[in-house]
Structure 1
């Protein structure tokens, strides 16, 4: 019931025509506001709590967080390094789950060949590092092309390919892998669609929108 109280505050659920229970308290609203506005902190705290509960039950996190056992040389950087690793791993898991581990441009469905791509870069927006609406599931190739601005996704969810790529029409692989998706709409995820404001910022950053 507590979860359904919180779900009544979720705009994504409301946009789908659903609603939770109407008994959300002032504390529920405060908790929702605190964590919904800071996905990075939420991921770190939830990972810490999950680890505590797993330890109490004699479980390990090797399957979920395989890279936490790496050695660290300096105590001061250990917590920060762990938090980054946890959050990157959690972000990847949430984006792949949201998109069914399928590239939203090509439809490629192989979790070893797709990445969780940030729309707003990890380094530029601390509050939205873990926000699933700041992520796209892209093939390794399209992730790289998106990251360096050779492709973007417009606020209407259509792919735009840079004119730089269109200058090489003789490249058959380029046509098949990238150019043919120009103006095609992406495959939308099950729950958290990419935020049009974030997509607009990416498109402006690389000159697709003036």
Structure 2
């Protein structure tokens, strides 16, 4: 006879989404978001908190800092975590769809895409919006809603910037290890290859900016950042392979 208390896939996806979106220190049963979600999925706030905290035991960066979740991991917990690591884009799209369907959550965070012209384009745009929403929440949370280079704080001023560009890798679109939290100006400069990071995660600036009026102020601002170390996130550290890709493929020395 099947157990009636087993967590469904939707419930597991929403628990992982919760873990991604909330700092570990805020995962407690009194948090309003946990209380609201628990009611929607038919679980207690304690049960949802414990399920979300289970993922801390699978997160190597938290483990390295001596942070542990609860020890009652299930096979399903491990499978969802491995799916996140190996197919973040697919899992992100599914998790955000579940959030929309069950919790009525719809994000307006979207990548810069062409407007849809038909059913297939609409489907792709919806998926892209869901993936971007998942990615943005993960990156801003792990950087405490603070630009990793300038220190500017406040979600409305920040962008979850892809290290390997959105267009270059479907697989890395939702992977927070492929993200940096940057203010809007630095995000555009990073995307244009006007600066990158070395192997020590220190800023290196392009020498291709001209001295004309249009670029002089930007050049001065970026040059002041030369050698500035990246402020490290609480988890999901930047992937060294992604950093090397940006430096060798996007960056304009």
Q: For the superposition of Structure 1 and Structure 2, which TM-score range results when normalised by the shorter chain?
A: 0.7 to 0.9
Shift in CA distance, 3/197, structure 1 to aligned 2, threshold 3 Å = same
The one-character-per-residue Cα deviations of 1:113-162 (angstroms, maximum 9, x if unpaired) are 32211001112222211111111111222112111211002231100011
User: How far did 1:47 drift?
Assistant: 1.0
Map of 1:113 onto structure 2: 157
Q: CA RMSD in A?
A: 2.9
Structure 1 residue ranges, 4+ long, deviating more than 4 angstroms after superposition: 167-172, 206-209
Mapped contact 1:169–1:175 kept (Cα < 8 A): no
Structure (1 or 2) with the greater helix fraction: 2
Residue among 60, 84, 97 paired with 1:11:
60
Map of 1:35 onto structure 2: 84
Mapped contact 2:195–2:203 kept (Cα < 8 A): yes
TM-score (norm 1): 0.80
Unaligned runs of 5+ in 1: 55-59
Shift in CA distance, 190/5, structure 1 to aligned 2, threshold 3 Å = closer
3-state SS in 2 of match to 1:178: helix
Alignment partner of 1:139 is 2:159 = no
CA distance in 1, matches of 2:153, 2:53: 32
Shift in CA distance, 200/73, structure 1 to aligned 2, threshold 3 Å = closer
3-state SS in 1 of match to 2:196: strand
Shift in CA distance, 17/23, structure 1 to aligned 2, threshold 3 Å = same
Query: Across the two proteins, how many residue pairs are aligned to each other?
Result: 199
Unaligned runs of 5+ in 2: 1-49
